[in-house]
């Protein structure tokens, strides 16, 4: 599963303006900014990934031919640097060819990520740490 790997130069500009949304999202009660359907396109091979994050911490991920059922947890508020901590656990993975051209079965894998939202709330980047060098994106809201 590709799951948030890589770096896009666009991220530097995105992160520079993206931290402004953290205070606005933190002030809204019972808000889960990750809830919805998101799309990311791997610029290396034009492969599309779709992430559906539900209201009850359920998730469904499609990456190329691979599909996964997931559970996720998102922090109630962002860190001081504007990132939300997200824990993504793969419950079931069909092991098909993903956008990273891997066939591995990721069932049972757990990913700890940091996401930062654009002020519009319609895009985010996902990072391995609170450092722009560890990010991929943007993920764009499609629903």
42-70 pLDDT, tens digit each: 999 999 999 999 989 999 999 999 999 99
Q: What is the CA radius of gyration of the chain?
A: 14
Q: Report yes or no: 139 and 34 within 8 Å, Cβ to Cβ.
A: no
What structural domains does the chain harbor? Answer: 10-141 (2.40.128)
The pLDDT assigned to 28 comes to: 46
Buried b vs exposed e over 89-121: b needs ≥16 C-beta within 10 Å? Answer: bbeebebbebbbebeebbeeeebebbbbbbeee
Buried b vs exposed e over 30-58: b needs ≥16 C-beta within 10 Å? Answer: eebbbbbebebebeeeebebbbbbbeebe
pTM metric for this prediction: 0.80
Q: What is the mean pLDDT of residues 23-42?
A: 75
Q: Report whether the peptide linkage leading into residue 111 is cis, meaning its omega lies within 30 degrees of zero.
A: no
pLDDT tens, 102-117? Answer: 999 999 999 999 999 9
């Amino acid at each position: 599963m590709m799951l948030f790997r890589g770096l896009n130069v666009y991220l530097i500009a995105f992160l520079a303006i993206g931290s402004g949304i953290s205070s606005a999202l933190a002030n809204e009660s019972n808000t889960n900014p990750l809830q919805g359907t998101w799309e990311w396109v791997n610029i290396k091979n034009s492969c599309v990934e779709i992430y559906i994050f539900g209201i009850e911490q359920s998730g469904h991920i499609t990456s190329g031919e691979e599909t996964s059922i997931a559970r996720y947890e998102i922090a109630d508020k962002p860190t001081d640097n504007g990132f939300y901590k997200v824990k993504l656990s793969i419950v079931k993975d069909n092991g098909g060819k993903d956008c990273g051209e891997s066939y591995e079965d990721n069932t049972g894998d757990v990913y700890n990520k940091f996401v930062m939202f654009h002020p519009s709330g319609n895009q985010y980047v996902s990072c391995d740490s609170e450092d722009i060098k560890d990010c991929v994106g943007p993920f764009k809201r499609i629903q």
